[in-house]
Amino acid sequence: MSKKIFLCAISNISSGHCLEDCRFCTQSVRYGAAIERFYHKPIEKIVEEARAARKRSAVGFCLVTAGKGLDDKSLRFVCEAAEAVKKEVPELNIIACNGTATLDQLRVLKSAGVGSYNHNLETSESFYPKICTTHDWKERYETCENVKKAGLNLCTGGIFGLGETMDERISLLESVASLEPASVPINFFHPNSALPLADRTLEADEALQMIRTAREMLPSQRIMIAGGREITFGERDREIFTAGANAIVIGDYLTTSGSDPLRDHRMIEDAGYEIATECHDN
């Protein structure tokens, strides 16, 4: 595996007003989690965050909205944000993460400067009804297929620690592999007292084994460790790289705090790796 580690940052540009019932997600209005809720982050603030992310060596910048999918209004807003970021910070690969999307909507995003689309399968098809009943797993898979048809790079992965079995974890990874994505975000459940799954989490050793398994099943993909990294691994997080990860999210997540990016820089360098300076570094 390459010794280069890729950094990505997230901007929560529309937060906390999702009507879906995903049992692991604080952005659902059904659970009343104590998070910041807003419809549109100011474009100037998004651009400011993009500049800060690039200053901290991020090569990817993800524009995330809450909700099941795109409508005309949210599509216009994401395009406006993408165009503004691309103009001011052209070095960043713009990633959109806006739920289910049609082929036409994805083509519009691409024309606005979006290079990648993130839509996680979350878990296996068989386990999905236990964590979400307001939409079907197949819709998620079809959106991922649309991403590739639109000529965008596909980012798709999932979340471990929801109560799924090992067989269900393997099934998720098999489905991800069938899509041949460019990048595979791996999240670990971050408990919140407002959620129905509040008492579930993984130990570091089990989580590291899942990264090893993901690398075995997805030998050519960029495997990115995202939400839950800090609480799952603590000071052992450098071990994610020897397990097979070659990318991380830096800074804060959607509704939870992340590590100081400078701390992550030191961690990567102390582990004997270097930070990638471009999105397509080998």
pLDDT digits (tens, 9 = 90+) for 116-133: 999 999 999 999 999 999
For residues 239-250, average pLDDT: 96
State the pLDDT at residue 198.
Answer: 65
State the pLDDT at residue 110.
Answer: 98
For residues 158-183, average pLDDT: 97
Amino acid identity at 61: F
SS3 182: coil
**Global pTM value:** 0.95
For residues 156-182, average pLDDT: 97
Model confidence at 282, in pLDDT bands (50, 70, 90)?
very low
State the pLDDT at residue 133.
Answer: 95
CB atoms < 10 A from the CB of 194, how many? Answer: 14
Alpha helix locations (H) across 63-136?
72-88, 103-111
- For the chain, domains (ranges, CATH) are 4-275 (3.20.20.70)
DSSP sequence for 19-77: -S--TT-TTBTTTT-S---BS---HHHHHHHHHHHHHTT-SEEEEEE-SSB--HHHHHH
Model confidence at 21, in pLDDT bands (50, 70, 90)?
confident
Q: Which residues contact 281 (CB under 8 A, 6 or more apart)?
A: 2, 4, 6, 59
Contact 22, 132 (CB under 8 A): yes
Contact 27, 255 (CB under 8 A): yes
Least confidently predicted of 59-68, 104-113, 191-200: 191-200
